[in-house]
Amino acid sequence: MTVTTERAIPFFPPDLFDTDREALLAALYEVGTDPEQKFILGRRTARFEDALRTSLGADHVVACSSGTSALTLVLAAMDVGPGDEVIVPAFGCAPLASTVLARGATPVFADTDPVTLTMDPDHAERLVTDRTRALMPAHMFSVMADMPRLRDLATRAGVRLVEDSALAQGGTLRGRPAGLWGDAGVYSFVQVKVFGMPGEGGVALSGDAELADRLRMLRNHGQDGRHRFLHHRIGHNSRFDEVMAAFQLHRMAGLEERVARRTAICSHYSSHLADLAGCGVVAPPVGGDGRFPYVYTLLCEDRDGLRDHLAASGVDTHVYYPRVLPEQPAFAPYANRGGEWPRARDAARRNISLPLYPHLTDERVEHVIAAVRAFAHGRNR
């Protein structure tokens, strides 16, 4: 089947910021010609931090250069280091392991829940030792981890809870936003995230004033913000860009509407794909507490077949994390001996994500649904 470019539905759309082009150019000119000539960590960044703090009901918001950097800063601020262990999901993004190893600590990999694809609290509890310094669960695709149970486990074990909520902005669980369940949480603003932007950036969130002060120092070479060239700690270069801060302040006005549109698409997908489980295609449930509309992910027994079928139908897809972290060449030498992660491996083998962005038209959503259904029913004949 030949697909015309007009019909093709990209997974990563090239026009995410087309309607904001003038605002972006204006922000670039404004910052570039400002007599202050401050291009990082200026008044726009402070305003952006304040705006996020107010909208979330957070105590402290610390903007930095990326979501990965935010995790690194959090672990450094908690003095996680050599000899320490951090329990992380076996299924997920590389920074879950690499940020721990960068601190000289050891990642201990927990298996995943088969439905949410997030860290299994029961398995995590069995992995706690006297060397455990922190739990670092991650929200995955469109479902938050079981934060109430993980919060309880961290409290009972006397360890810190680091919430990798990099992709979960817009999610709430029991009325509490993603990112505010842990001793610290993070968001990422890379372009495809819920509050993405045309550049790198992120924030760390915390209710701990002392931890937040450390984060502010660590993001700027260990300086305290009042005394330049006075370095209190060994820090990092993880500073937020003023142009992006101005752009994100502009985009905040439409964030709720964009989240609502993404949520509506997720719900429509699920309501029209829910009956395909018997055909080897499992869709996440419609709505529910602890959901957020970042990536819409199916589990499919014949993932490659579905991907090929959708490509032939003009639908681009994406497979996240096709290999579990403890089996990655970079991390395998540090994986817990005798570890088994069967549910994480299953998720790595079966997951496939469909297009999801605010300007995805109803017509294209229906086309995606029809293509998935055609594959499932054709496979089940």
Nearest CA among 73, 104, 68, 100 for reference residue 87: 100
What residue type is 150 in one-letter code?
L
Which residues are registered as beta bridge partners of 9? 315
Average pLDDT, integer, range 188-197: 95
pLDDT interval class at 381 (50, 70, 90): low
Q: List pLDDT tens digits, range 202-254.
A: 999 999 999 999 999 999 998 987 888 889 889 999 999 999 999 999 999 99
- Is 357's pLDDT higher than 50? yes
- Is 49's pLDDT higher than 50? yes
The predicted structure's pLDDT at residue 6: 52
The predicted structure's pLDDT at residue 23: 96
- Cα distance from N-terminal residue to C-terminal residue, the chain: 21
Taken in order 224, 229, 232, 236, is the CA torsion positive or negative? positive
Q: Bigger pLDDT: 94 or 233?
A: 94
Average pLDDT, integer, range 13-32: 95
- Is 317's pLDDT higher than 80? yes
pLDDT interval class at 3 (50, 70, 90): very low
pLDDT interval class at 74 (50, 70, 90): very high
> CA angle, corner 364, sides to 358 and 366, nearest 5?
110
- Is 2's pLDDT higher than 50? no
* Residues in contact with 129: Cβ distance below 8 Å, sequence separation at least 6, in sequence order: 85
- Is 5's pLDDT higher than 80? no
CATH, range 255-379: 3.90.1150.10
Average pLDDT, integer, range 299-320: 97
What is the percentage of the chain residues whose pLDDT exceeds 90? 91
CATH, range 18-253: 3.40.640.10
Q: List pLDDT tens digits, range 125-162.
A: 999 999 999 999 999 999 999 999 999 999 999 999 99
Q: Specify whether the CB–CB gap between 297 and 351 falls below 8 A.
A: yes
The predicted structure's pLDDT at residue 133: 98
User: Distance between CA 298 and CA 12 in Å, rounded?
Assistant: 17
Q: Where are the beta strands (DSSP E) in the chain?
A: 60-64, 85-89, 106-110, 132-135, 160-163, 172-173, 176-177, 184-188, 202-206, 281-282, 296-300, 351-354
Average pLDDT, integer, range 256-270: 96
Q: List pLDDT tens digits, range 326-353.
A: 999 999 999 988 889 999 999 999 999 9
Average pLDDT, integer, range 188-210: 96
Q: Do domains 18-253 and 255-379 have the same CATH topology?
A: no
**Domain-wise residue ranges, the chain:** 18-253, 255-379
pLDDT interval class at 173 (50, 70, 90): very high
What is the percentage of the chain residues whose pLDDT exceeds 70? 97
Average pLDDT, integer, range 262-270: 96
pLDDT interval class at 7 (50, 70, 90): low
As a whole number, the mean pLDDT across the chain is 94
For 61, phi then psi, to 5°, come to: -130, 125
